[in-house]
Chain A
């Protein structure tokens, strides 16, 4: 079946640096993409979404980029803070329900 993959299972960054988390999706019919953040012991939390008719969307300290040509999604976090330490999932919607990736663990070094 379809799957949502991540290039890196773990990412370690220095506090204050920018973080980039990547995601490869498999279904060219996907029309909607979401990034979630999951802190230890908690449920996934919505960060930002993007529709397939866009290639960039910005939020507060976060930017999502969508490259439909290579089926690639990325999440950029500016000025990474210790509170950003978590697992980040991407999700795609090919048709029907969302499909989630396995996640990338982001660790922020003080």
Chain B
């Protein structure tokens, strides 16, 4: 019963490098989300996908792109990493948009990204 799986768990990038954070869920959820978590800032929404085939910007989308590859997978790409993107990234999913279907969002264990 894996839930939401994120890879990698840790990553160090140099400024200007690119990378893709992977996320997969096995709960047959329709909606998926990417958040970043910074000290004192709480969770901030980067992008979300209400259903397969759709993606939308959240609160802090600049510098990121996403792909909803299929119902299970939702990836986050940093095209040219910047030190300001140093953060912990969480992927989440829910049965229906905006946490509908009960039990809100199910989160992965996070990717700790450092950009130097």
- Which A residues lie at the B interface, using CB under 8 A? 1, 4, 32, 34, 36, 41-46, 49, 89, 91, 93, 95-98, 100-103
- Interface 0/1 of B19-62, CB less than 8 Å to A: 00000000000000100000011110100100000000011000
B99 touches A93 (CB 8 A): yes
In the bound assembly, the distance between CA atoms of A41 and B97 in angstroms comes to 27
In the bound assembly, the distance between CA atoms of A25 and B52 in angstroms comes to 31
In the bound assembly, the distance between CA atoms of A25 and B89 in angstroms comes to 24
Given contacts A1-B59, A49-B102, 13 further A-B contacts (CB under 8 A): A32-B104, A42-B110, A43-B108, A43-B110, A44-B43, A49-B103, A49-B104, A96-B98, A97-B45, A97-B48, A98-B98, A100-B42, A102-B42
**Interface residue SS majority, chain A:** loop
Please pick, from B40, B105, B109, the residue contacting A98 in the complex, using a CB distance under 8 A.
B105
- Which B residues lie at the A interface, using CB under 8 A? 4, 33, 40-43, 45, 48, 58-59, 90, 92, 97-99, 102-110
Min distance, Cβ B61 to any Cβ of chain A, angstroms = 13
In the bound assembly, the distance between CA atoms of A49 and B40 in angstroms comes to 24
In the bound assembly, the distance between CA atoms of A99 and B110 in angstroms comes to 18
How many A-B pairs with Cβ below 8 Å? Answer: 56
- Chain A residue at minimal CB-CB distance from B91: A43
- Chain B residue at minimal CB-CB distance from A34: B104
Most A CB contacts (10 A, CB to CB) among B42, B45, B98 go to B42
Min distance, Cβ A1 to any Cβ of chain B, angstroms = 8
A97 touches B33 (CB 8 A): yes
What residues of chain B lie closer than 8 Å to A4, measured between beta carbons?
42
In the bound assembly, the distance between CA atoms of A42 and B98 in angstroms comes to 22
Min distance, Cβ A59 to any Cβ of chain B, angstroms = 12
